[in-house]
Chain A
Amino acid sequence: MRRRDFLASAVGALALPGAALAQADPVDPLVRALANGAPLRKGKVALVLPQLADNGNSVPIRITVDSPMTPADHVKSIHLYSERNPVPNMANFYLSPRAGRAEINSRVRLAGSQRVTAVAKLSDGSFWYAAAPIVVTLSACLDES
């Protein structure tokens, strides 16, 4: 194999997982189950993750929801889902108007490259979500480290 062909195929192989992630169903069945038939829309939620994590054992994550956080209109809870972790529901955070701002920062474990989904439940009963793909070089959970 010529060096150029090899490089081309290597680049192709690297690009594949990303493409596969982009084509997958955007909403996890678990997320649908959480909404329980209520309207589930994309938007309002912003999910910030690094595009690439060297180590899946501790990945910084930030979830912000566009909400005034008043007693009439606030975020009740934020739910985090992973596509590939053995426990898909990574965390649930419960907020109240006392929060003042709907933002959570934490660190998660991720078992491999995948899409992470954050869902917010608002006081009016609607659900909003955002998803972000992430490439994880060293998986948590599986490497026995």
Chain B
Amino acid sequence: MAARIQIPREARRGEVIEVCILIQHPMETGYRHDDVGHLIKRNVINVLSCRYNGVEVFRADLSSGISANPYVQFYTVAEASGDLEFTWADDEGQRGSERQAIVVKG
């Protein structure tokens, strides 16, 4: 499961920064049928969380109501240099994670 995180490379301490994540995932609803008429099993990313230097700053419960290749954007306060690490899991138990570094000045 590939994902792309977009955050500023640098920020001032205390600045509110925009965080975006886009994960490549079908978010299979469980309501579609395959070519021979069998129901395709539901498989959605049901939990997504973001840790900033080990502290959880954001968490989301997702469902089939979120589009394929889920995109989530939120904000966080730049407190210290370090990493933003995203982790997520889908219904089939597959887990993914991705991290991105940020430099905080001042």
Partner of B74, one of A92, A103, A108, A142: A103
Chain A, range 51-103, C-beta contacts under 8 Å to B: 57-59, 80, 82, 85-87, 89-96, 98-101, 103
> Is B65 positioned at the interface, with any CB of A under 8 Å from its CB?
yes
Query: Closest Cβ of chain B: how far from A83's Cβ, in Å?
Result: 12
B87 is an interface residue with CB less than 8 A from chain A: no
| B67 adjacent to chain A (CB < 8 Å) | yes
Task: Say yes or no: A98 contacts B74, CB within 8 Å.
Answer: no
Most buried by B among A93, A100, A110: A100
A-B pairs with beta carbons under 8 A, tally:
95
Which of the residues B52, B55, B66, B79 comes within 8 Å of A90, measured between beta carbons? B66
Q: Are B59 and A91 in contact (CB under 8 A)?
A: no
* A95 in contact with B66 given A109-B29, A144-B33 (CB within 8 Å): no
| A interface residue count range (under 10 / 10 to 19 / 20 to 34 / 35 or more) | 20 to 34
Minimum distance in angstroms from B28 CB to a CB of chain A: 11
Let me know if A34 is at the binding interface, CB within 8 A. no
How many chain B residues touch A (CB < 8 A): the figure is 30
Are A85 and B65 closer than 8 Å at their CB atoms? yes
Question: Could you tell me the distance between the alpha carbons of A89 and B46 in the complex, rounded to whole angstroms?
Answer: 12
Contact partners of B60 in chain A: CB under 8 A: 91-94
Q: Are A98 and B57 within 8 A (Cβ)?
A: yes
Which residue of chain A has the shortest Cβ distance to B74 in the bound complex? A104
Q: How far is A110 from B63 in the complex, measured between Cα atoms in Å?
A: 12
- B76 lies within 8 A of A100 (CB): yes
Q: Are A107 and B67 in contact (CB under 8 A)?
A: yes
A9 interface residue, CB < 8 Å from B?
no
A91 contacts B71, C-beta separation under 8 Å: no
The interface bits of chain B over 31-69 (1 if a CB of A lies within 8 angstroms of the residue's CB, else 0) are 111000000000000000000100111111111111110
Are A91 and B76 neighbours in the complex by a CB distance under 8 Å? no
B positions within 8 Å CB-CB of A: 16, 27, 29, 31-33, 52, 55-68, 70-77, 79
